[in-house]
């Protein structure tokens, strides 16, 4: 067990994860979906390897970032809508 | 099988579609022949910027005339055509280019196109993502953008509603002496045949002075509000229109979806449609000079297309001297979407009445024959 944990914000709510956790995983820890599509459908990570683009989120102000390709860092601001 | 028509239009890109629509609107019995999809060539590859440009007096006349025709048509276009009167901002880098901004404003006023000079501060307010180091811009509010394949589709469908017939997918094998032969053996007879095949027009008339000029475009994911107007660097004519060399220019467009469309590149002698990443990199580097944050956006597709370029950057509109039944509406380079409607009016006015609302002379194909004869 890693002894340190990382705190970040997902849609304004604090989430604690172990180092090495992807942002996609942190998003799922905070709720059931990653984002809402332009036609209003709920989306969640599918491939987990940067291909399907379903896990996109705004990370530290950068929109449409594939959250499965980014590891959590302390103080990150993650937004799914 | 042989059928008789008043007019046969070869090509259902935006120019052919506009010509067919104009013919059908005048009550001419019109056939349209398209080998692929409606608006599937350069029409689908371009930006869809409806823009007044002043590379020459004839270009200013045709683009300003056409921009007005698009504004008239706009309310009848389907939602999918995504017409938006977002205006163009011609961005000036320095005080020397600001002098050009003032010259351009005065020139546009002579053809009834209103525009407004923005200083550096007003430009930053209008487009916060532009570099604050820019000197200012000319805003042309009546310019717009649309999604050209849907506009071409509308023009063809409305032509059919008016009685025209679409032959698709059929390839024109030969055209001349009042006869168009299709690949399945069908013969269409008409006293007027319009070649609107764009960069493919030379397949029927190898002597036409049309060359393919390759371009690249990049489209991003959705970033609503990132850019509000079509932005073009004022040095566009300098950097993009030198005929001799490969070039890039800053040219960026907001789509209704929130996506950002980024251009532009120009290359002669590149016949291969493969994406050339050195050109794309040069486009993005050029864009970063004007809009530093462009590099933070995520691109989702890159594609290429071929403009139909003529030596004097003006289209070929009018009769082909070797055959009294053959007419041209081709060679529109990067302005085919804008000038399609004006081209159609000028050509069909010329065919039907012999009189046009703007002079046809600068666009007549015979200009190249004359210059060769004098050389």
What tens digit of pLDDT does each residue of B336-371 get?
999 999 999 999 999 998 999 999 999 999 999 755
Interface test with B, best of A63, A66, A67, A70 (most B CBs within 10 A): A63
Q: Is B368 on the interface with A (CB under 8 A)?
A: no
Whether complex ipTM tops 0.85? no
The alpha carbons of chain B give a radius of gyration, in whole angstroms, of 20
Q: What is the DSSP string of B300-349?
A: EEEEEEEEEE-TTS--EEEE-TT-TTEEEEE--GGGHHHHHHHHHHHHHH
**B262-288 exposure pattern, b = at least 16 Cβ within 10 A, e = fewer:** bbbbbbeebeeeeebeebbebbbebbe
Handedness of CA B62, B63, B68, B70 (dihedral sign): positive
Q: pTM of the entire structure?
A: 0.91
- Which residues belong to CATH 3.50.50.60 in chain B? 2-46+148-210+313-374
Give the pLDDT confidence score for residue B237 in this predicted structure: 61
CATH number of the domain where residue A14 is located: 3.10.20.30
Q: How many structural domains comprise chain A?
A: 1
Q: Is A1 on the interface with B (CB under 8 A)?
A: no
The residue assigned the tokens 């993502």 is B129
User: Which of A3-17, B75-89, B238-252 holds the top average pLDDT?
Assistant: B75-89
From CA B319, how far away is CA B229, in angstroms rounded?
A: 38
Q: How far is CA B84 from CA B60, B76, B152, B334, in A?
A: 21, 13, 16, 19
From CA A40, how far away is CA B161, in angstroms rounded?
A: 36
Q: Indicate whether A40 pLDDT > 60.
A: yes
Of A38, A56, A62, the CB nearest to B296: A62
Is A64–B296 a contact, with Cβ atoms under 8 angstroms apart? no
Confidence of residue B375 (pLDDT cuts 50, 70, 90): very low
Mean pLDDT of B42-61: 97
Q: How far is B65 from chain A (nearest CA, A)?
A: 37
Condensed to tens digits (0 to 9), the pLDDT of residues B243-285 reads: 567 899 999 999 999 999 999 999 988 889 999 999 999 999 9
Q: What residues in A contact B222, CB-CB < 8 Å?
A: 38, 64
CB B163 within 8 A of CB B296: no
Q: How far is CA B214 from CA A65, B160, B328, in A?
A: 31, 32, 22
Q: How far is B298 from chain A (nearest CA, A)?
A: 7
Q: Which fold has domain B2-46+148-210+313-374?
A: FAD/NAD(P)-binding domain (3.50.50)
Q: Is residue A40 domain-resident?
A: yes
From CA A8, how far away is CA B63, in angstroms rounded?
A: 54
CB B89 within 8 A of CB B229: yes
- Which residues belong to CATH 3.30.9.10 in chain B? 88-141+211-309
Q: How far is B267 from chain A (nearest CA, A)?
A: 32
Q: How far is A81 from chain B (nearest CA, A)?
A: 13
Q: Is B225 on the interface with A (CB under 8 A)?
A: no
Q: What angle do CA B37, B41, B44 make, to 5 degrees?
A: 90
Pairing of strands A77-79, B2-4: unpaired
Is B222–A62 a contact, with Cβ atoms under 8 angstroms apart? no
CB B198 within 8 A of CB B15: yes
Give the pLDDT confidence score for residue A66 in this predicted structure: 94
Torsion of CA B285, B286, B287, B293, to 10 degrees: 40
Q: How far is A56 from chain B (nearest CA, A)?
A: 11
The residue assigned the tokens 């000036």 is B92
Please, which residues have CB within 8 angstroms of residue A60's CB and are 6 or more apart in sequence? A76, A77
Q: Indicate whether B242 pLDDT > 60.
A: no
Is B221–A62 a contact, with Cβ atoms under 8 angstroms apart? no
Average pLDDT, chain B: 94
From CA B364, how far away is CA B338, in angstroms rounded?
A: 19
Instruction: Report the residue of chain A nearest B298, measured CA to CA.
Output: A64
Provide the H-helix boundaries in B137-217.
148-161
The DSSP code for B131 is -
From CA B194, how far away is CA B178, in angstroms rounded?
A: 11
Q: What percent of chain A has pLDDT over 70?
A: 96
Q: What residues in B contact A69, CB-CB < 8 Å?
A: none
Instruction: Report the residue of chain B nearest A53, measured CA to CA.
Output: B300
Nearest to A55 by CA among A30, A77, A37: A37
Q: Which CATH class is domain B88-141+211-309?
A: alpha beta
Q: Is residue A1 domain-resident?
A: no
Instruction: Report the residue of chain B nearest A65, measured CA to CA.
Output: B298
Q: Is residue A44 domain-resident?
A: yes
From CA A47, how far away is CA B198, in angstroms rounded?
A: 43
Q: Indicate whether B236 pLDDT > 90.
A: no
């Amino acid at each position: 067990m890693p002894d340190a944990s990382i705190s970040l914000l997902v849609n304004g709510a604090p989430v604690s994860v172990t180092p090495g956790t992807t942002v996609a995983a942190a998003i799922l820890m905070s709720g059931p979906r990653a984002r809402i599509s332009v036609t209003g459908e709920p989306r969640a990570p599918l491939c987990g390897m940067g291909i399907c683009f379903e896990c996109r989120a705004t990370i530290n102000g950068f929109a449409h970032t594939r959250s499965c390709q980014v590891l959590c860092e302390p103080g990150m601001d993650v937004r799914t809508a | 099988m042989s059928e008789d028509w008043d007019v046969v239009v070869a090509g259902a890109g935006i120019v052919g579609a506009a010509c067919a629509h104009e013919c059908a609107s005048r009550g001419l019995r019109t056939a349209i022949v398209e080998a692929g999809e409606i608006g599937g060539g350069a029409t689908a590859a371009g930006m869809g910027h409806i823009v007044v440009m002043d590379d020459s007096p004839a270009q200013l006349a045709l683009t300003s005339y056409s921009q007005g025709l698009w504004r008239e048509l706009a309310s009848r276009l389907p939602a999918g055509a995504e017409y938006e009167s977002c205006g163009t901002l011609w961005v000036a880098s320095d005080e020397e280019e600001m002098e050009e901004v003032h010259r351009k404003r005065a020139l546009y006023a002579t053809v009834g196109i209103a525009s407004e000079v923005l200083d550096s501060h007003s430009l930053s307010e209008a487009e916060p993502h532009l570099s604050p180091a820019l000197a200012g811009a000319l805003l042309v509010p009546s310019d717009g953008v649309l999604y050209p394949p849907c506009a071409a589709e509308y023009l063809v469908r409305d032509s059919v509603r008016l009685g025209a017939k679409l032959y698709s997918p059929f390839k024109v094998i030969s055209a001349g002496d009042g006869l168009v032969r299709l690949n399945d053996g069908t013969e269409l007879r008409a006293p007027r045949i319009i070649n609107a095949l764009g960069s493919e027009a030379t397949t029927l008339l190898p002597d036409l002075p049309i060359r393919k000029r390759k371009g690249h475009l990049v489209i991003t994911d959705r970033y609503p509000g990132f850019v509000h107007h079509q932005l073009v660097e004022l040095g566009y004519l300098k950097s993009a229109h030198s005929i001799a060399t490969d070039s890039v220019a800053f040219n960026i467009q907001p789509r209704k979806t929130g996506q950002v469309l980024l251009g532009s590149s120009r290359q002669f002698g590149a016949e291969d449609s493969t994406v050339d990443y050195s050109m794309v990199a040069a486009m993005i580097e050029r864009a970063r000079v004007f809009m530093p944050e462009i590099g933070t956006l995520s691109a989702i597709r890159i594609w290429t297309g071929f403009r139909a370029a003529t030596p004097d950057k003006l289209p070929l509109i009018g009769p082909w001297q070797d055959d009294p039944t053959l007419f041209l509406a081709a060679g529109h380079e990067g302005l085919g979407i804008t000038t399609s409607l004006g081209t159609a009016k000028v050509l069909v006015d010329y065919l039907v009445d012999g009189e046009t609302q703007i002079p046809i002379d600068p666009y007549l194909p015979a200009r190249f024959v004359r210059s060769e004869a004098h050389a």
